[in-house]
């Protein structure tokens, strides 16, 4: 058969009567842009016509006209034409409540509805949405927008909205324009019509839940300019949440089905929509102070939180224009932290810590037997609930409790951080969470699950116990239930059997390491709990609290492994397992400190470790990280020895080169500044006070000078003879002190010195007694080394003893016992020279060089420091980073802030050069404008800081430099303002809100931090540390010193020195004094105005620290001697200044 010819095929097309179906609208013919010259021309163009094709073309022409207005930079003429047209429509139907506004357009829309013309049904609401957007951009047109909105919401046009919203699912081109129109109307004029739209929800919310489910199904990713039905519906709901008044917003939040569907597919939504949802949730629900917690919890359900958690695994790629500072997972994490840990804004409720909900814990509550009556005291048994709560706990934060059970902290870092943050904010949930987890840690295997879960447990145990165990008004009369506290210390799933099995792992040493970390954290937390019990026993029910503490320690010791198991695991470690060895010795130290009774009962052989330690001290190299870790391990072992009975500190073993005490001295001498081994110093002081080797009036200083003298020769080779000599002196001084006491008394009587006035210790007599034997036993080279040590020690010793006769007596006897004309004899006779070299070479006080390059915020560690000797004071000259004037221009706003360039620029306002100050001010104003126009999340407060700083600097910058204290304050505040969660953020924010300029004779925030309570509990020391750091950076010239004087800064600092919570700030206070004395005439001001000399005398008497002593001497040297003599009436002149 031949093929059918083409003509026949073409002629038979008419026989195919089946109609084609389209899922998308037919492509409209492109309309050429219309040149509109007047409003009347627009009115004529939009006149109603029954010709559907012509009506569609007219609507599309109007759309092109509106697009031109939005796209044009100068659309004034077109806007006037549009205004004339809109005004003409108003006049036609009267100015008082017109029945229908834009009647031709609405009549065209109704006619299309009758004909079911979907092209026009799509085009009309689309052009109306565009018209509303144009009106929103012009203040002069806002009144017409309200007329249009009222007309659209009139009952005569409800069917138009309903028809568009309820179209078939595949008619996106009909649904989306109506949703866009409603969204634009809800945004118009700051949400003026949003409440009207919500009140008309019987038709504006038609098929809303269905439309929220119509997500994008294309192959490529959804574009922001071509949103899907779901995207338009979500945006419509989000705009209502943003603009609705509080009453209507509460009603909207009751529509749970809407918000369930809104977040149902959030993990599949495009990035721009996810960000809109998270930002609206954060700003207009969580942070809305007018919304009650009841209204918020209607939407902040466990289901919603789980949907946001799913964003942690969000992996859709974002366009460069969409990318902000935080990624989608990070933004979701930030929102969840706010919801779960904010007491005023989120789900968090006030709770009572370790006390369950509704528990009565005071005598007046009468829920337990009267323990103060005449009957038999039953102790803890008198409290009926003390042993309860072993399976379930009544908590207040029920929603959070349900939510955290769904988290997987072992497999996600963010989920781990989130649950730990929840535990920190609501400690009541910790025990309840672990009670609900029946299956906990499986058999120890080095799997990702086991490692992740053990890390989660470690983080949980590391959390601090709540103040007063969670009771609001001080300690309660009764302690919390035992089971709840124990779950906070060491969950019951971590029993002795499992922990012992983990420590016995030989194939995988990391398992034992993880368990040791957990146990160390648990012991430290137990230590804090026992301390709180002791504090509570001083307020009420002493016997109850004491019994409770004993019971807690008993239960804890039953759960943790025996100490012999830990020692055995430690001794199995290789010498190269440095991290594990340090962790094990730290755990053993905690056993001895926290549970000494369990150590005694176990009869541990820990003192055997001391002997093994002696063999490894010679191999430590502090220049390497391995050496530092090894030194920390040895420090822990010496701490164990100090807590162990029967340790022979001054006895050398058969195979050990030196005694344990000398080993500690040597270890302290070779320690680097990066590893000062402060705990080892405490052990040394304890042994010295027990044995009275040094005189006890200044034990600390004597020990310091002995270590300094030892440091100069301890690194030399072949020191066996020297160590033997020192060991012999120490041993004899401890074993036969009577012999040297007699020698001391003999010397004192010969020189007419009263015993109570003497500061002489016994060790120099023992050294002199053994010197003649050492001279005979060693060669000339070894003798010179020992002589050098003794000379340096005597020279330093003279500074504290103050008795020149005694030092001269010792030096002459040492020199006479040396061979004539030997090098050792010459060294002994020049002890003053070597003593001064020891002080000048070994004594440093670390003062960071705080210039515009190296100033560090309080939450960072200083990267570079300059060692500045206390004697003599030298002016600290700050090197200005002038490159900051141009360096910031090449970087983004985020990088300028994060990398500290803006901070360097701020510091230049205190430059001594006028040109630099002017240029710095100009550059700061330029950057502030760039910051204001940027998308940086925390830009508002940083911009306000820079603006107020610039306004304050303008007043004086042409006359003199801005006082450095203000540029330092601004520098340190930037790092706070970019982190709103920082505890100092509220105080700085409040300061910036007071005035547009600063008073340049007052120090910012000084009185607020000094006198007012901290913004967060437990942050007193942290706030004061931040204040001291910025005061230190801000003290650079006479101008700053004068401000310090007027505001009595030094009086406050000196009064802080011995506060219990400021022990860690003592170094910074001394640094400020050192910095102050580097300024001209500052030493004289400190003496005459603030009585620093008297203060230093008191501190020196209390602590006998060499730093205070040298600071005291150098202040006297650097001040104006004549003025001080007149001021003190020659009282200070009589004080002896050491050379």
274: in domain: no
Residue 1091 is predicted with a pLDDT of: 73
Residue 1101 is predicted with a pLDDT of: 63
Average pLDDT over residues 14-30: 44
Range of the domain at 779: 697-842
Nearest-10 crossing angle of helices 496-503, 509-537: 140
Which of 282-286, 467-471, 1068-1072, 1081-1085 is predicted least confidently? 1081-1085
SS (H, E, C) 864-908: CCEEECCCCCCCCCCCCCCCHHHHHHHCCHHHHHHCCHHHHHHHH
- Report the DSSP beta bridge partners of residue 568: none
Bigger pLDDT: 742 vs 92: 742
Give the residue among 194, 212, 346 at the shortest CA–CA distance from 282.
346
| Tens-digit pLDDT profile for residues 196-229 | 999 998 999 999 999 999 988 877 888 888 899 9
Residue 1132 is predicted with a pLDDT of: 62
Residue 50 binned pLDDT confidence (cut-offs 50, 70, 90): confident
Indicate if the pLDDT at residue 1073 is higher than 90.
Answer: no
SS (H, E, C) 103-120: HHHHHHHHHHHHHCCHHH
Indicate if the pLDDT at residue 1114 is higher than 60.
Answer: yes
421 and 547, same structural domain? yes
In 3-state terms, what secondary structure has residue 846? strand
1105: in domain: no
Residue 621, both tokens = 């190299």
Number of structural domains the chain divides into: 4
Among residues 530, 561, 592, the one where a domain terminates is 561
Binning the chain into helix, strand and coil, the percentages to the nearest 5 are: 65, 0, 35
In 3-state terms, what secondary structure has residue 845? strand
Name, of 251-265, 802-816, 889-903, the range with top average pLDDT: 251-265
Average pLDDT over residues 541-561: 90
Residue 1130 is predicted with a pLDDT of: 60
476: in domain: yes
Mean pLDDT across the chain: 80
In order, the DSSP letters of 1007-1075 are: HHHHHSPPSSTT-HHHHHHHHHHHHHHH--SHHHHHHHHHTTHHHHHHHHTT-GGGGGGHHHHHHHHHH
Residue 101 is predicted with a pLDDT of: 87
DSSP 390: S
884 and 817, same structural domain? no
Residue 474, both tokens = 């001080």
Average pLDDT over residues 630-652: 81
**Residue with the two structure tokens 């499992």:** 498
Instruction: Reply yes or no: is the peptide bond before residue 872 cis, omega within 30 of 0.
Output: yes
| Contacts for 951-958: CB closer than 8 Å, 24+ residues apart | 951/996, 951/997, 952/997, 952/998, 952/1000, 953/909, 953/917, 953/921, 954/921, 955/997, 955/1000, 956/1000, 957/909, 957/917, 957/918, 957/921, 958/914, 958/918
E-assigned strands of 704-760? none
| Tens-digit pLDDT profile for residues 696-731 | 555 456 788 788 888 877 766 678 888 889 999 998
Residue 880 is predicted with a pLDDT of: 59
721: in domain: yes
| Tens-digit pLDDT profile for residues 1053-1063 | 877 776 655 55
| Tens-digit pLDDT profile for residues 922-955 | 888 888 888 888 888 888 889 999 999 999 988 8
Task: Centre a 10 Å sphere on the Cβ of residue 665 and count the other Cβ atoms it contains.
Answer: 23
885 and 818, same structural domain? no
Find out whether 1001 and 1044 touch, Cβ atoms under 8 Å: no
Give the residue among 110, 119, 112, 123 at the shortest CA–CA distance from 63.
123
**Residue with the two structure tokens 């009595």:** 1048
493: in domain: yes
944 and 822, same structural domain? no
Q: How far apart are the first and last CA of the chain?
A: 128
Residue 751, both tokens = 């020189």
Average pLDDT over residues 1062-1090: 77
896 and 833, same structural domain? no
Give the residue among 294, 287, 201, 280 at the shortest CA–CA distance from 248.
201
Indicate if the pLDDT at residue 279 is higher than 80.
Answer: yes
Could you give the C-alpha distances from 534 to 474, 546, 548, 830, in angstroms and in order?
Answer: 13, 7, 10, 55
Residue 678 binned pLDDT confidence (cut-offs 50, 70, 90): confident
Indicate if the pLDDT at residue 366 is higher than 50.
Answer: no
In order, the DSSP letters of 416-464 are: HHHHHHHHHH-THHHHHHHHH--S---S----HHHHHHHHHHHHHHHSP
Bigger pLDDT: 368 vs 1029: 1029
875 and 816, same structural domain? no
Could you give the C-alpha distances from 167 to 123, 158, 163, 178, 699, in angstroms and in order?
Answer: 15, 14, 6, 11, 91
Q: Which residues contact 407 (CB under 8 A, 6 or more apart)?
A: 309, 415, 418, 419
Number of residues written out for the chain: 1139
Q: φ and ψ at 866, to 5 degrees?
A: -115, 125
Residue 251 binned pLDDT confidence (cut-offs 50, 70, 90): very high
Residue 861 binned pLDDT confidence (cut-offs 50, 70, 90): very low
DSSP 939: H
Which of 240-244, 528-532, 675-679 is predicted least confidently? 675-679
Average pLDDT over residues 500-525: 91
1081: in domain: no
DSSP 1105: -
Q: What whole-number distance in Å separates Cα of residue 683 and Cα of residue 677?
A: 10
Alpha helix positions (H), 908-1037 = 914-933, 939-954, 964-977, 985-992, 1006-1011, 1020-1034
Q: Burial of 763 by CB count in 10 Å (0-12 exposed, 13-18 middle, 19+ buried)?
A: buried
Indicate if the pLDDT at residue 16 is higher than 70.
Answer: no
Find out whether 509 and 579 touch, Cβ atoms under 8 Å: no
Average pLDDT over residues 270-280: 93
CA 390 to the chain's CA centroid: 35
Q: What whole-number distance in Å separates Cα of residue 965 and Cα of residue 972?
A: 11
Per-position b or e across 590-610, b if 16+ CB within 10 A of its CB: bbbebbeebbeebebebbebb
Residue 352 binned pLDDT confidence (cut-offs 50, 70, 90): confident
Indicate if the pLDDT at residue 52 is higher than 50.
Answer: yes
Indicate if the pLDDT at residue 230 is higher than 90.
Answer: yes
833 and 772, same structural domain? yes
430: in domain: yes
Element (H, E) at 179: helix 172-187
Name, of 180-194, 432-446, 1088-1102, the range with top average pLDDT: 180-194
Average pLDDT over residues 759-788: 87
**Residue with the two structure tokens 């809104």:** 262
540 and 400, same structural domain? yes
892 and 790, same structural domain? no
Element (H, E) at 847: strand 845-847
556 and 409, same structural domain? yes
**Residue with the two structure tokens 């509460």:** 250
Bigger pLDDT: 374 vs 814: 814
877 and 832, same structural domain? no
Residue 324 binned pLDDT confidence (cut-offs 50, 70, 90): low
Give the residue among 737, 722, 704 at the shortest CA–CA distance from 658.
722
Residue 523 is predicted with a pLDDT of: 95
Give the residue among 774, 695, 698, 687 at the shortest CA–CA distance from 729.
774
Residue 216, both tokens = 């994008």
Residue 11 binned pLDDT confidence (cut-offs 50, 70, 90): very low
Among residues 156, 173, 196, the one where a domain terminates is 156
**Residue with the two structure tokens 């840690």:** 441
Which of 716-730, 858-872, 1124-1138 is predicted least confidently? 858-872
Per-position b or e across 1011-1049, b if 16+ CB within 10 A of its CB: eeebbeeebebbbbbbbbbbbbbbbbbebbbebbbebeb
Average pLDDT over residues 371-391: 65
Q: Burial of 822 by CB count in 10 Å (0-12 exposed, 13-18 middle, 19+ buried)?
A: middle
Residue 846 is predicted with a pLDDT of: 36
Nearest-10 crossing angle of helices 142-152, 172-187: 130
957 and 824, same structural domain? no
Give the residue among 736, 585, 721, 712 at the shortest CA–CA distance from 658.
721
Residue 606 is predicted with a pLDDT of: 52
Residue 1134 is predicted with a pLDDT of: 39
Among residues 546, 561, 576, the one where a domain terminates is 561
507: in domain: yes
Residue 869 is predicted with a pLDDT of: 40
Question: Taking CA 318 as the corner, what is the angle to CA 314 and CA 322, rounded to the nearest 5 degrees?
Answer: 120
| Contacts for 624-630: CB closer than 8 Å, 24+ residues apart | 626/578, 628/672, 628/674, 628/675, 629/578, 629/579, 629/581, 629/582, 630/578, 630/581
Indicate if the pLDDT at residue 1104 is higher than 80.
Answer: no
Residue 760 is predicted with a pLDDT of: 73
Residue 801 is predicted with a pLDDT of: 58
Longest dimension (CA), the chain: 146
- Report the DSSP beta bridge partners of residue 867: 846
Indicate if the pLDDT at residue 98 is higher than 90.
Answer: no
Q: Which residues contact 534 (CB under 8 A, 6 or more apart)?
A: 545, 549
Q: What whole-number distance in Å separates Cα of residue 633 and Cα of residue 625?
A: 13
Q: What whole-number distance in Å separates Cα of residue 142 and Cα of residue 160?
A: 23
Q: φ and ψ at 846, to 5 degrees?
A: -80, 115
Residue 437 binned pLDDT confidence (cut-offs 50, 70, 90): confident
Indicate if the pLDDT at residue 637 is higher than 70.
Answer: yes
Residue 23 binned pLDDT confidence (cut-offs 50, 70, 90): very low
Percent of the chain with pLDDT over 90: 24
């Amino acid at each position: 058969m031949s093929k059918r010819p083409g003509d026949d095929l073409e002629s038979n097309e008419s026989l195919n009567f089946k109609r084609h179906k389209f899922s998308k609208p037919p492509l409209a013919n492109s309309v050429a842009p219309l040149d509109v010259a007047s409003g009347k021309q627009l009115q004529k163009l939009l006149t109603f016509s029954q010709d559907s094709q012509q009506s569609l073309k007219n609507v599309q022409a109007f759309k092109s006209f509106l697009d031109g207005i939005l796209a044009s930079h100068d659309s004034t003429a077109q806007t006037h034409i549009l205004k004339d047209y809109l005004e003409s429509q108003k006049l036609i139907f009267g100015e008082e409540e017109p029945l229908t506004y834009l009647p031709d357009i609405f009549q065209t829309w109704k006619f299309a509805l009758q004909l079911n013309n979907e092209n026009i049904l799509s085009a009309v609401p689309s052009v109306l949405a565009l018209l509303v957007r144009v009106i929103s951009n012009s203040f002069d047109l806002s009144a017409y927008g309200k007329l249009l909105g009222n007309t659209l919401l009139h009952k005569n046009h409800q069917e138009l909205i309903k028809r568009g919203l309820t179209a078939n699912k595949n008619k996106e081109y009909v649904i989306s324009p109506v949703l866009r129109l409603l969204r634009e109307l809800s945004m118009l004029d700051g949400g003026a019509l949003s409440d009207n739209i919500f009140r008309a929800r019987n038709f504006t919310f038609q098929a809303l839940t269905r439309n929220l489910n119509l997500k994008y199904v294309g192959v490529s990713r959804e574009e922001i300019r071509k949103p899907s039905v779901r995207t338009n519906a979500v945006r419509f709901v989000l705009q209502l949440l943003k603009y609705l008044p509080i009453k209507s917003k509460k009603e909207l939040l009751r529509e749970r089905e809407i918000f369930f569907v809104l977040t149902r597919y959030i993990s599949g939504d495009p990035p721009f929509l996810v960000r809109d949802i998270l930002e609206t949730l954060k700003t207009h629900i969580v942070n809305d102070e007018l919304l009650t917690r009841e209204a918020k919890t209607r939407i902040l359900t466990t289901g919603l939180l789980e949907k946001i958690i799913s964003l942690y695994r969000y992996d859709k790629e974002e366009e460069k224009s969409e990318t902000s500072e935080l990624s989608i997972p990070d933004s979701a994490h930030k929102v969840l932290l706010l919801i779960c840990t904010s007491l005023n804004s989120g789900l968090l409720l006030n709770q009572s810590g370790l006390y369950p909900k509704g528990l009565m814990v005071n005598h007046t509550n009468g829920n337990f037997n009267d323990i103060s009556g005449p009957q038999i005291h039953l102790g803890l048994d008198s409290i009926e609930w003390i042993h309860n709560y072993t399976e379930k706990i009544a908590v207040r934060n029920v929603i959070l409790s349900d939510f955290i059970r769904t988290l997987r902290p072992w497999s996600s870092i963010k989920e781990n951080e989130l649950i730990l943050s929840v535990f920190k904010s609501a400690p009541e949930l910790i025990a309840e969470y672990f009670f609900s987890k029946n299956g906990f840690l499986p058999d120890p295997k080095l799997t990702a699950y086991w490692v992740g879960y053990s890390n989660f447990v470690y983080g949980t145990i590391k959390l601090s116990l709540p103040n007063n165990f969670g009771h609001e008004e001080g300690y309660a009369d009764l302690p919390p239930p035992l089971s709840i506290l124990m779950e906070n210390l060491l969950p019951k799933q971590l029993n002795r059997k499992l922990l012992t099995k983990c420590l016995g792992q030989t194939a995988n040493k990391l398992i034992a390491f993880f368990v040791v970390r957990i146990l160390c954290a648990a012991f430290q937390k137990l230590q804090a709990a026992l301390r709180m019990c002791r504090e509570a026993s001083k307020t009420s029910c002493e016997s109850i609290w004491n019994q409770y503490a004993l019971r807690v320690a008993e239960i804890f010791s039953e759960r943790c492994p025996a100490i012999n198991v830990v020692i055995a695991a430690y001794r199995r470690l290789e010498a190269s397992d440095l991290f594990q060895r340090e962790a094990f010795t730290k755990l053993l130290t905690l056993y001895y400190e926290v549970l000494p009774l369990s150590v005694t009962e176990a009869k541990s052989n820990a003192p055997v470790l001391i002997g093994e330690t002696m063999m490894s001290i010679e191999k430590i190299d502090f220049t390497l990280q391995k050496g530092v870790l090894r030194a920390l391990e040895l420090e822990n072992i010496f701490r164990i020895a100090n807590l162990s009975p029967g340790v022979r500190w001054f006895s050398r073993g058969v195979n050990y080169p030196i005694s344990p005490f000398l080993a500690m001295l040597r270890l302290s001498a070779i320690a680097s500044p990066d590893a000062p081994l402060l705990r080892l110093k405490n052990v040394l002081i304890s042994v010295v006070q027990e044995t009275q080797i040094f005189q006890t009036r200044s034990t600390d200083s004597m020990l310091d000078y002995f270590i300094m003298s030892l440091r100069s020769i301890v690194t030399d080779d072949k020191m066996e003879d020297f160590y033997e000599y020192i060991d012999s002196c120490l041993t004899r001084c401890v074993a036969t002190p009577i012999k040297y006491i007699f020698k001391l008394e003999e010397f004192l009587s010969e020189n007419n010195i009263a015993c109570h006035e003497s500061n002489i210790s016994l060790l120099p007599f023992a050294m002199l007694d053994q010197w003649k034997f050492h001279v005979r036993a060693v060669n000339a080279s070894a003798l010179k080394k020992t002589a050098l040590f003794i000379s340096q020690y005597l020279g330093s010793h003279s500074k504290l003893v103050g008795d020149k006769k005694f030092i001269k007596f010792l030096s002459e006897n040492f020199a006479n016992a040396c061979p004539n004309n030997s090098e050792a004899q010459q060294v002994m006779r020049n002890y003053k020279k070597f003593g001064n070299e020891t002080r000048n070479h070994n004594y440093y006080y670390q003062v960071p060089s705080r210039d515009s390059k190296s100033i560090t915020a309080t939450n960072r560690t200083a990267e570079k420091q300059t060692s500045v000797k206390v004697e003599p004071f030298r002016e600290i000259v700050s090197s200005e980073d002038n490159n900051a004037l141009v360096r910031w221009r090449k970087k983004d706003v985020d990088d300028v802030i994060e990398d500290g360039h803006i901070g360097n620029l701020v510091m230049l306002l205190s430059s001594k050069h006028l040109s630099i100050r002017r240029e710095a001010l100009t550059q700061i104003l330029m950057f502030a404008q760039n910051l204001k126009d940027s998308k940086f999340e925390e830009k508002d407060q940083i911009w306000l800081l820079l603006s107020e700083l610039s306004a304050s600097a303008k007043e004086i910058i042409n006359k003199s430099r801005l006082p450095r204290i203000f540029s330092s304050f601004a520098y340190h505040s930037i790092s706070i303002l970019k982190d709103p969660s920082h505890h100092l953020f509220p105080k700085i924010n409040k300061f910036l809100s007071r005035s547009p300029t600063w008073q340049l004779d007052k120090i910012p925030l000084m009185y607020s931090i000094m006198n007012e309570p901290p913004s967060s509990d437990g942050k007193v020391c942290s706030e004061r540390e931040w204040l001291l750091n910025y005061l230190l950076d801000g003290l650079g010239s006479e101008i700053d010193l004068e401000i310090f004087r007027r505001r009595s800064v030094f009086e406050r600092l000196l009064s802080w020195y011995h506060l219990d919570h400021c022990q860690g700030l003592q170094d910074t206070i001394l640094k400020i004094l050192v910095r102050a004395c580097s300024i001209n005439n500052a030493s004289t001001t400190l003496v005459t105005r603030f009585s620093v000399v008297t203060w230093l005398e008191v501190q020196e008497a209390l602590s006998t620290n060499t730093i205070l002593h040298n600071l005291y001497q150098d202040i006297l040297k650097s001040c104006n001697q004549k003025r001080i003599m007149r001021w003190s009436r020659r009282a200070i002149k009589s004080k002896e200044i050491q050379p």
